[in-house]
Amino acid sequence: MAMDLEFFPCDLVTWDGFYDLARALSRKIKASGWRPDLVVAIGRGGYVPARVVCDLLVHDLLTSIKVEHWGIAARKRDRAWVRFPLATAVSGQRVLVVDDVTDTGDTLLATAGYLKGLGPGEVRTAVLQHKASSSFEPDYYAERIDVWRWIIYPWAAHEDLVGFTERVLTGADRPLSKGEIIADLKRRFEIDLDPEEMAEVLEDVVALGMAARSGSVYQVNRC
């Protein structure tokens, strides 16, 4: 799907909302009658979902790999690739791969291809939310998303908000106040932040060298 990189809707998932999705996903896996020998979390987005799914499946064999495709605030790298490979053998085993969401589908496609090359008995995939625009359909998902939006999960919310704030400041032709940044996040990305949350985000935007503060306004550092 072609995405306007300056304006697109975001959905901030709460911790309670996440747990509801994880329960629904686990129930679907149980209902299928299939049980994994090993669960593999895709880092970083799949770490928390995989741990909770394991809890709900009463399954204790969990490991992970690190696959990189999306960066902070919906910035996509050129391709999905396995940065940190699997550290255990999977030959002949039933492997369940868990991630947070399918977007393009490239991350799960790269992961499934990589794992199948290690000789498992079977590889199945599971995500909390599956976007209809994805080229890869997982075996299990809790929710299908038909109208595309960027999903911000609670374990990555602060990091994404820092990135989206940098986007707002980069696109501005003058320094912006905290209130103006809040308004622009709402207008461009449908993100609602209160002043206290915004202050925390801006503190890190400045600390990371993304922007500078002058009095009550902020401006991106342009090198």
| Architecture, CATH, for domain 154-220 | Orthogonal Bundle (1.10)
| Whether the predicted pLDDT of 72 surpasses 50 | no
- β-sheet bridge partners, residue 118: none
Nearest to 45 by CA among 99, 97, 104: 99
Average pLDDT over residues 65-84: 63
First-last CA distance in the chain: 32
Q: Which pLDDT belongs to residue 12?
A: 94
Domains 10-152 and 154-220 share a fold: no
Nearest partner of 72 among 173, 201, 176, judged by Cα: 201
Residues 115-139, mean pLDDT to the nearest whole number:
95
157-195 pLDDT, tens digit per residue, is 999 999 999 999 999 999 999 999 999 999 999 999 999
CATH class of 10-152: alpha beta
- State the pLDDT at residue 85: 73
What are 106-123's pLDDT values in tens digits? 889 889 888 998 999 999
The domain spans of the chain are: 10-152, 154-220
- Starting from the edge strand earliest in sequence, which strands make up the sheet with 211-214, in order? 176-177, 217-220, 211-214
